[in-house]
A and B are shown apart, each in its own frame.
Chain A
Amino acid sequence: MSNSTDLNLETFPYGKFRAEYRHIIDGHASQPFALGPHGRPEVVVVPSQLYQGMVDQCRRLEEMSRTIPILLTAAQAGVAFPSDSLAALGYRPQFDATRLANFVSHLALGATHDEEGQPLPESHIPLTHEPVEEDDLELTYRDSIVGA
């Protein structure tokens, strides 16, 4: 016997699950179900493929949370900031090079990844220019025409 709950999940008592786990799992290959006494879910069982999708979505949301504030600012300003996420939402403002250039130059915003999507390494090495005196010598060639 199973029940539907507030989670809208089919919930199986532990005893039933113990006795019929193979049948229950096979019957929920692509959807989660719950376990618990008296129809009260205590544990949710999620198929591995679905779980992987949830993890991917969480990671994507976490990444988006870093870029969303900037993208929202761009959208509010009406500038054509190059964004796949905004484009996917149908945001396609008119391109104006000067407006966009002004916008990006005033943002505290830099690239975080290279063109291939790898995180950009950032140098923390303190750099100091060492003055050097450059010599005026020039290369001379054996086959140069004398006097040329």
Chain B
Amino acid sequence: MLDPWYPPPGEYYVPLSEAVHYPLRQGDLVGPVTIDGRATPIVQVVHPTCELGKGQVDRIQVCAVEELSRLDDDFTRSCVVAGMRETGGSFRVAFAHTFFLPGIHAHDEGMYGNFRRRYLVDRAEVCLENRSAALTHDARVFFIRRWIYFRFRILLSLNQVRGLEADRIRADRAFEGPRPAWADDTNHAP
């Protein structure tokens, strides 16, 4: 399979000026939120998007976002950034429980979502006003692919995930905000 694990770092986040048009979705970064009574600067929403608006959902599933600088050494950091590593003539998945995230601002260091460290956060804190960054539709495809691999050890190609996501968006009558070009109603070949 020839698909990289991540999009180019410049294509992760919706520009701040446009983010207001995008509702909160899975993969977005929010913070600060309260976890175990302590303020946590930033977390990543892993809760299914369609559940976020339901009145009975009072706690939202998120995963920890950690800074690359917290890791022991540069080799470990490079494994997280690439999502894989070469060893013995093969390219192995590296740290499947991580999802690399570039810094939100140009001067920020890189980060990663840690799928092993998941929490439930009060929904009042997981809201648009508290959103730090909105994932682009393209980046969300990469996120979903990595999430599926981590949760079920099922490896889909980017095209498969993008195709499924495009079909889902086309069928979603409640879809809000700008659509990705590959899920345009007139474009059925993602």
Contact = CB atoms under 8 A, between A and B. Distances in A.
Contacts of A64: 89
B147 to A, nearest CB: 15
Given A114-B93, A120-B93, A134-B50, A95 B2 contact: no
Contacts of A110: 1-5, 84, 91
The range of chain A's interface size is 35 or more
Interface residues of B, number: 49
Nearest to B165: A129
A138 interface: yes
Interface stretch (B24-32, B33-41, B129-137, B155-163): B155-163
Q: Chain B CB within 10 Å — which of A64, A71, A86, A105 has the most?
A: A105
A112 B91 contact: yes
Q: Chain A CB within 10 Å — which of B50, B77, B92, B154 has the most?
A: B92
Interface of A: 60, 62-64, 66-67, 70-71, 80-87, 95, 97-98, 100-102, 104-115, 117, 120-123, 127-129, 131, 134, 138
Interface of B: 1-9, 50, 54, 56, 68, 74-75, 77-79, 81-96, 100, 102, 109-110, 153-157, 160, 163-164, 167-168, 171
